Each structure stands twice: as structure tokens, then as C-alpha cells.
Structure 1
Amino acid sequence: MAQQADAGQRARLNRDRVLHAAVALADRVGIEALSMRSLAQELGVVPMALYKHVANKEQLLDGMVDVIVGEIDSPAHGADWKSAVRERILSARRALLRHPWASRVIESRSAPTPGALDYLDSVIGMFRAGGLSADLTHHVMHALGSRVWGFTQELFPASPNVDPDAQAVMFREMAARYPYIVEIAAARTHDGESVVNQGCDDQFEFEFAIDLLLDGFERLHRQGWTSADQS
């Protein structure tokens, strides 16, 4: 009877179920703990059953990226290009915040997945539909960088929690040699929950950068900017 139940479960296995189970498992235990063996155990099947749906761990990770990308909201109908792009990117950010491991997996892919290409094509299409030239849009996408996916490769990476007194001593020692770094680091009150730097409001910093970039893109578009004019 147990063998019949196992056979029935394996028969119900499909690629979609495998990928969604992998995402859920990574959410729960972390991407480092995800393996074909642990996923098979989660699904109640032997590891070989998974290879009918994903050829290897890399293909599994590719598929997981597409699951995450599938959570990004579609572009709003009728919105101007700036609003549409902004909301699309902020939706991507919400998706990545639900799956904190996802940005590392996206960065690790050697080539964009089909879902990632669909998403990028959609974002580029919003700029083009807004009247931005292909030339300007090319540079726009470079400027957005990882922000198009909803995360930022930070100039000041997060540091582990340190004792406030020890941090004060460190700041005093640094101030003589690196006065401007210390000045901006101390410019805002910090809370310990941020992923940008200890205490920086990462959501505010992300939206600040996106709005600054979009305003700049709009200004260049209105000026009829081309890269040929810069050479």
C-alpha cells in the first residue's frame, strides 16, 4: 500500500510543483541548505524523480528565478512610462523581499532565464513606448543596473552588529584619515534592521535612487539626448 502511495505521489510530480517546492524550501531553510536531496525529501520522492523535471541544480535555480519573476506585477495599463516603470521595479523589489535569497541567485546566473528575459523586455518596452530612443534606453538600462531587479549592489555593505562604544571608538580612529566617509556615515540616525548599512532605511534609499534616475532619464529624453552628441 505504501508503495502505491509513493507511486501516486511521483506520478503527480511536475516541473511547476518541483520549482514552487524549491522556492518554499529555500524561504524556510535558506538557499545554502537547498539541494536536490533535501528537495526530494521535502516532496517525499527519491532524488532521481526530480531529474525528470530539472536536469541538475543549476537548472533548478534557473527555474526558481522564473518563479520569482512570475510574482512581479504586470505593467499598469494607461500609466505614463515613469509611473509604469517605477511600479514594475518596486513590485520586483517586493518579490525579492519575500525571498531574501533570490538576489544572490539572480546574480549567480551565467545567462538570463526565459522569465528574466521576458521581464527585461517588458521594462525596456515601457521606456520605448514612452518615446525614449533605443540609444537612450540602452544607457538607461546600464544606469539602472541591479535596481531593475529590485535590489541594489551597495557601496557600503551591511556590517555585523557591533557594540555602540566600540563603534564610536572605530569612528574616531577613522575620522582623521577618512573624514568624509565618517561624516556621511554619521549623517543619519541608524536602526539595526536595515540591509543597506547598519540602520539606513533601505526602502527609502532604493526609492530615492529610482526616482532620481527616472527624473534624469526624463530630462535627457526631453532634451533629445543621444550618445553620439557626447563623443
Structure 2
Amino acid sequence: MAGFMVVMATFLLAGLVKGVIGLGLPTVAVALLGLVMTPMEAAALLVVPSLVTNVWQLAAGTNLKRLMHRLWPMMAGICIGTMLGAALWSGSDARHATAALGVALILYALSGLLSIRLSFPAGSEPWLSPTVGAATGAVTAATGVFVMPAVPYLQALGFSREDLIQAMGLAFTTSTVALAAGFAYQGSLHSGTAGGSLLALLPALAGMHIGQWVRTVVRPETFRKCFFAGLLAIGMHLALKGLF
């Protein structure tokens, strides 16, 4: 019962974060659940809440067709990287996965706290998009976290705020579907896991609703800094836990 309450509270908080700043549900859920279970167990619970909330985010924009035309090489890279990563990481030591999750969270938190913005030479997108996609897929397969290096790369492409949010929704939806396929390949996506993931959808949606209200009374930038600071602390803990 205690474990069930931890999962429900985690997805409530993760949904709240996504409701305030438009991202962070998978990252927060995997980061917090990674403290009490393996990253892959946490990521398996994430499949339904992540898919539903990211499709919601994806459908809210108005330029999906144009974004899919531009970003399809990145989406293809995510799928290939995730499936290859799932095969590579299958049966690996859980401590290594925990350490990898910690490192991914640290890098993401630092990029947010330091407001790092990347830039790329003109003409590099045709080869860089599938490369970033494949790297994101590999990180997703290892840690269950979708954000690195996809989010910094998308931020560097110069999208408007609305298009950026929709592009992240597209990337996260693709990552979720590819991760679910990876779990199916490993044989770890069974009825018990699917049922737990479906139950986790309810607090995630409730958290998003609360977060949308919080956004009206708290500056998103202040909340974002607290979010990244918390991720940094959790990432350092997980990295040390996995290494020692």
C-alpha cells in the first residue's frame, strides 16, 4: 500500500510540474521513482501517463504537419536509437542504469540552471537531426528519460514558443511509443505493469490540472529554477548511488 501511495504521489507531482512549465512529467516521475526502484521499472509505469499527456500537448498546437515534415529524421533516429539501446541494455546491471539516470538528470538540470542555449552551423540539420534522435533514443533506453539531448537541440532550432512546445510533444510522444516497443521486445511490458501505468494516469492528469492553476499565481521562471535545482540534487544522489 505504501508503494502504491508513493507512485500516486509521484505522478501527481510530475503532472503538476508539467502543468506549470509544459514539460517534466517523465523526468520527475523517473527521477523520484528511481529512488525506490530501478529506472526501467519506473519508466514502465510511465508509458500510459506520458503517452496521454504528450499526445495532449502535441494536439494543442497548430503546426503539426510542418513540424513532422521538418523533424521526421530526428523521430526516426529516436526510434532506431531506442530499439538498439533496449537490446544493448537488456539484462544490464541496475546500478549502471541508476548511475546513467543520475548523470542524465545532472546534465539536464545544469543546462536549465545555466540557461545553456546551443547553436549549430547552417546546413547541419539534415545530419544532426537523426544523430541527436539516435542519441536521445539511446539515453531513453538506458534511463527512461526523454529530454537529453533532444530538448537542448530543439531549443536551438529557433522555433516560436508554441512550435517548440508542440515539437517537444512530438519528440516525447515518439520516445514513449519507442520505449514501450522496447519494453515489449524485452518482455517486460505485461498486464501488471500496464495496469499500474494506467492507474498512474489519474494522478498525472489531476496534477496537470493543479499545475495549470499554479501557473496563474507563481512565475513559471521561478518554478522552473526550483524544478532544475531539485533535479540536480536527485541526479547527484542517483549517480552516487549507482557508482558506489
TM-score (norm 2): 0.30
TM-score (norm 1): 0.31
Higher RCO, 1 or 2 (CA under 8 Å, sep at least 6)? Answer: 2
The answer to which structure has the higher helix fraction is 2
The structure number with the bigger radius of gyration is 1
